Structure 1
Amino acid sequence: MELSAAKTAMLTGGILVLPVLAFVTSFLFWPGVLLKGYNWFWRRRLGLQVRFSHSGSYRFCYSSRGSVGTEPTLLLLHGFSASKDMWLPVAKFLPRNRHLVCVDMPGHEGTSRTGAEDYSILGQVARIHQFVRSIGLDRTPFHLVGTSMGGNVAGVYAACHPADLSGVTLVCPAGLVYPADSRFITLLRELEQSGADQNLDQNLDQNIPLIPSTPQALDDMLALCCHTPPKLPRQVLRGLLDNRIPNNGFYKELFLQIVGPDSRNSLQDHLPLISSPLQVVWGREDQVLDVSGAAVIKAALPQARVELLDDCGHSVALERPRKLAKLLQDFLSPQEPGDRNFLSSQEPGDADAKKVS
């Protein structure tokens, strides 16, 4: 009996040790795999399921939660070199009964990687419209949300397909003519002045902070994108790099498309055509795309609701997920006459969001 009990204890201990050993081994030798596993766990905990949709030979990868109801679906478009999982912090604070769809943008993560024709802003708009039709999202108007590059795409989509939308939210969107240069744009101008596009292409991996290839370069990217960069262990940084570096060639090709003459000012060119209710959210400390872009949108579209967040940089979904979720919910909620004054309806702790009038 004692021997049997001892064997049972050893067996139970072994079963408990194996997951711990697997975790430690993954953290030390395959941190990128561990990070993907973490995102899988987080999606499951939030009720998001990864799905695939096909349109001909083209494949879209997306995660979704809930089903179409009386309230508009939220379709979220991520930024350059990110993925659908960048919205997980925001999804945590959105109501479970809200139909939520987060799609991998063209060429990213599980969505098909084709060629340059799909990576321009208009090319991405065409693919997102294709995705919308492939899952039947165009049967009822939905609310479109995009950040950075995804904000550029979302704004142009709103201009090109207004009948699809009940509204649109642009978070620190690219594609404008900014009155003031950000730190990042200043760097790009210096690179352009140093030579032709061939020179920019040849030195892209080394000079563009959004395409890091070393731990220090990744630290620099986080400092550029976040007002308060997260303090990550070196193994986590290594895991992020392990997952990014194989895609750096694609990121380079994509970057050259979205900063090229056909895409650089796409949102600016399409602003007069946007007729959907519009919300703009911007971090005042954005070093990637200057917050002065918010005034550009407000001047072109006076009815737009503009929210500026103090002590927040470019990565609003990472730095202020609860705030962004609340602003989305407030904008989506039925508004009574006079309730459009956001400052008068602030809750305690909301003083960092200011409306531009």
Structure 2
Amino acid sequence: MVKRVLAGTLTLIVLAFVVIVISVMRFDVPREELVGKYAGGASQFATLPSGASVHFRDEGNADGPALVLVHGSNASLHTWEPWVAELGGTYRIVTMDLPGHGLTGRVPGDDYSREGMAASVHELTEALGLTRFAIGGNSMGGGISALYALDHPERVTALILVNSSGVPVVREDTDPPLAFRLARMPVLSKIMRYVLPRSVVEEGVRKVFVDQSKVTDEMVARYFDMTLHEGNRDATRMRFASYSARDEVAFSERLGGIEMPTLIIWGDKDLLIPVAAADTFKERIPHAELVIYENVGHVPMEEVPVESAGAVAAFLGAALAEPAPAPAAAAEEPEGVE
């Protein structure tokens, strides 16, 4: 009798465990399904020389100065739409989903390093015929933008760094999102390839905002869906596995070579990259201005879009006031753009 009771109890425990695992298992979502859901409006796709099919948007004033914006880790081009709404009347704004992100997904060669990302930005801007433009990035995208400015100074008119990566960070009394901590753990990051509760993604989204009213169900659903895009979790695992603190130190030592006007924007309540990093950027980049917003988190372009876009407009208005080089010959129709 006792054995039957124990056996029945064990069976119930096993069944409960199976139900729990099944409830949090998440398989990849086909690209076509997500394209139909999120690639509306200005969305386009370009096949780059590297073979990647990149999701991008080319919006705003087609005759205005060009501004290329690069999103952060595990985000997508959608993060820049508030700035597009504020600045699009003046500037031509190009945004893209980086390799391993959004609707771009996993790419041939699986290069998700800062250098690989910057190369993708270069390929897209060349495909669009952009020869001179301002570039800005948030978080990981800021580090990519800074690298691009260092490697292609002849193309960059101005640089905008928003809560940017690129300098060594000492985190004191901060609590990064669980998803980021798990992604840095080799075994658990592999488990996340198949087991990913929506709550983990929501916690990550909420932690980049101070004003929780900005976090909508639609926003959380989009982040979750983009995470499940086929190949994105594999790309994220590879990207985090390749991170090196030593490389970050070496990169930060190059920042003094940035010669174009630079605007640094930060939220003082950033839990991912503490505001002290903003001062480090300001110290190392010769021609840098710094704007810090109180009670704002990691994504000022979404949390305080009017104020942050206003700072960008004032900065670019001054930075681009000097006469520009003679325009290049008209570009041919970009290859691979659908």
TM bucket normalised to smaller: 0.7 to 0.9
Name the counterpart of 1:92: 85
- Picking from 189, 193, 202, the partner of 2:187 is 202
More helix by share: 1
- Offset at residue 275 of structure 1 (A): 0.9
| 1:169 alignment partner AA | I
Aligned residue pair count: 290
Q: Distance in 1 between matches of 2:181 and 2:233?
A: 22
| 1:213 alignment partner AA | L
For residues 10-49 of structure 1, the aligned pairs below 5 Å read 44=41, 48-49=42-43
Name the counterpart of 1:272: 256
Per-residue Cα deviation, 1:21-77 (whole angstroms, up to 9, x for no partner): xxxxxxxxx9x9999777556xx3xxx3424253263333210124653x5300010
Tell whether 2:54 aligns with 1:60.
yes
- Offset at residue 129 of structure 1 (A): 1.6
Q: Which deviates the most, 103-112 or 308-317?
A: 103-112
- Picking from 214, 217, 234, the partner of 2:197 is 214
Please give the TM-score of this superposition, normalised by the length of structure 1: 0.69
Q: Distance in 2 between matches of 1:336 and 1:76?
A: 17
Name stretches of at least 5 consecutive residues in structure 2 with no aligned partner: 1-28, 322-338
- Picking from 145, 152, 160, the partner of 1:169 is 160
Q: 1:288 to 1:205 in 2, by over 3 A?
A: farther
Name the counterpart of 1:17: none
Name the counterpart of 1:225: 208
- Offset at residue 302 of structure 1 (A): 4.4
The answer (yes or no) to whether the contact 1:121–1:266 under 8 Å persists in 2 is: no
Name the counterpart of 1:300: 284
| 1:60 alignment partner AA | V
Q: CA RMSD in A?
A: 3.7
The answer (yes or no) to whether the contact 2:256–2:285 under 8 Å persists in 1 is: yes
- Offset at residue 231 of structure 1 (A): 6.8
Per-residue Cα deviation, 1:229-259 (whole angstroms, up to 9, x for no partner): 34767687456424423432322222223x3
Name the counterpart of 1:25: none
Q: Distance in 1 between matches of 2:181 and 2:61?
A: 48
Name stretches of at least 5 consecutive residues in structure 1 with no aligned partner: 1-29, 338-357
Tell whether 2:138 aligns with 1:147.
yes
Per-residue Cα deviation, 1:273-327 (whole angstroms, up to 9, x for no partner): 1111111000000000011011111111243001001110002222111122111
The answer (yes or no) to whether the contact 1:156–1:266 under 8 Å persists in 2 is: no
Q: Distance in 1 between matches of 2:318 and 2:217?
A: 46
- Offset at residue 219 of structure 1 (A): 3.1
Q: SS of the residue aligned with 2:137?
A: strand
Q: 1:39 to 1:316 in 2, by over 3 A?
A: farther
The answer (yes or no) to whether the contact 2:270–2:297 under 8 Å persists in 1 is: yes
Name the counterpart of 1:328: 312
